[in-house]
């Protein structure tokens, strides 16, 4: 048993093609991460510097948030991978339940408030 530990390990069990795929995926994630930081900076600048009109500020920020949410789901939660079918189905069903619920609550708050 101890003789096995004295032998050197292979540097990696991955093939060159697998290493290239992993490096490609890492590059994609870094680019998406930089894009998400850029979207965050844009949203802060939009509100802080009054770049967008006040009436359009909230929809603009919500639009940027939706884009960031989609990027996070696709690239960091790996929903783009083929073996995540159930997770994708649950996420889509959750969106179909959540959006009408939030819309109904906003409508109720609007009806009560005005």
What would the pLDDT profile of 48-100 be if each residue is shown by its tens digit? 888 888 888 888 999 999 999 999 988 888 877 788 888 888 888 998 999 99
Q: What is the pLDDT of residue 14?
A: 82
Please give the torsion angle defined by the CA atoms of residues 107, 112, 113 and 114, in that order, rounded to the nearest 10 degrees. Answer: 90
Q: What is the pLDDT of residue 3?
A: 65
Residue scoring higher pLDDT (8 or 45): 45
In a shared domain, residues 57 and 31: yes
In a shared domain, residues 76 and 93: no
Does residue 4 lie within any of the structural domains? no
**Is the predicted pLDDT of residue 2 greater than 70, yes or no?**
no
In a shared domain, residues 45 and 100: no
31 and 6 Cβ atoms separated by less than 8 Å: no
Does residue 6 lie within any of the structural domains? no
In a shared domain, residues 36 and 88: no
Output the pTM of the full model: 0.65
Q: Which of 20-24, 48-52, 94-98, 108-112 has the lowest mean pLDDT?
A: 108-112
d(CA 9, CA 53): 61
In a shared domain, residues 23 and 58: yes
46 and 61 Cβ atoms separated by less than 8 Å: yes
Number of domains forming the structure of the chain: 2
Q: Which single residue is written with the structure tokens 């920020």?
A: 61
Does residue 10 lie within any of the structural domains? no
CA 91 vs. chain centroid, Å, equals 13
């Amino acid at each position: 048993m101890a003789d096995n530990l004295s032998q050197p390990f292979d540097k990696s069990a991955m093939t060159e093609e697998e290493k290239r795929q992993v490096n490609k995926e890492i590059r994609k994630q870094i680019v998406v991460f930089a894009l998400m930081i850029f979207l965050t900076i844009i949203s802060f600048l939009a509100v802080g510097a009054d770049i967008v009109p006040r009436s359009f500020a909230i929809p603009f920020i919500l639009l940027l948030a939706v884009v960031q949410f989609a990027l996070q789901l696709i690239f960091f939660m790996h929903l783009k991978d083929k073996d995540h079918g159930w997770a994708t189905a649950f996420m889509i069903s959750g969106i179909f339940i959540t959006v009408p619920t939030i819309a109904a609550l906003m409508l109720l708050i609007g009806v009560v408030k005005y």
